[in-house]
Structure 1
Amino acid sequence: MDAKVTVSDSQAVLRLGGRFDFKAHREFRDAVDSLLGQAGGKPLQVDLGDVSYLDSSALGMLLMLRDKAKAANKDVALIGVKGSVRQVLDIANFSKLFAIS
């Protein structure tokens, strides 16, 4: 998995690509820490547009991000969601936990 944090004047984005599974745990955790450290008061977005595969451990990692963000009084939106990634998130009812677009 590829993970890249970008922060602009209006938002902080964690852009993910490739397979998002258990092997990505350390890289994802490091990217989340970087995102939260750089975000300041900006809204957080996770761009899943280039993710080709998502499994249950990835869902757990997204929940971990949500918990860390909530502790920092921030909301997290999932953007660029499409195809099989959207199906997995829909089945898991993540639309009740995240804004998804």
Structure 2
Amino acid sequence: MLIASEVSLDGKKLTIAIKGRFDFGSHHAFRESYERFYKVPEVYVVDLKEATYMDSSALGMLLLLRDHAGGDKAQVQVINSNSDVRKILAISNFDKLFHIR
């Protein structure tokens, strides 16, 4: 599991890329990936292109990110999820909380 974060040059967008398993073992690294920035970005992007697995604790981590980003008015996108992950997100109604592409 590897989690990398990158902020855009203007500081308005933070991209968090997940590689490997996105589960409870990722909790500390995932949280650190967005809490370590002094300036709060306007848009958060979680890139699951290289994620191989996602469990219920990962769903909880996405909710914590959403709360950190501003709750209902937060702009959090989940991109590049495979079909299995998309099913998990849809069954959990996360498509109503996040912009999923």
Post-superposition shift, 1:42? 3.8
Task: Please identify which structure carries the higher helix content.
Answer: 1
Q: Structure 1 residues 29, 93: CA separation in 2 closer, same or farther (over 3 Å shift)?
A: same
For the Cα contact (< 8 Å) 1:7–1:39, is it kept in 2? no
Mapping 1:1-101, distance limit 5 Å: 1-9=1-9, 11-34=13-36, 37=37, 40-70=40-70, 74-101=74-101
- 1:41, CA displacement in angstroms? 4.3
Aligned length: 98
Shift of 1:74: 3.7
Gaps of 5+ in 2: none
Give the aligned residue type for 1:16. I
Residues 41-91 of structure 1: CA deviation (Å, up to 9, x unaligned):
4421110111110000100010000001016x6411111112211111111
Give the TM-score normalised by structure 1: 0.85
CA offset digits 1:13-68 (Å, max 9, x no partner): 0111100111111111111213xx26644421110111110000100010000001
Runs (5+) with no aligned partner, structure 1:
none
Cα separation, partners in 2 of 1:41 and 1:60, compared to 1, 3 Å: closer
- What's the TM-score, normalizing by structure 2? 0.85
Distance 1:53 1:22 in 2: 11
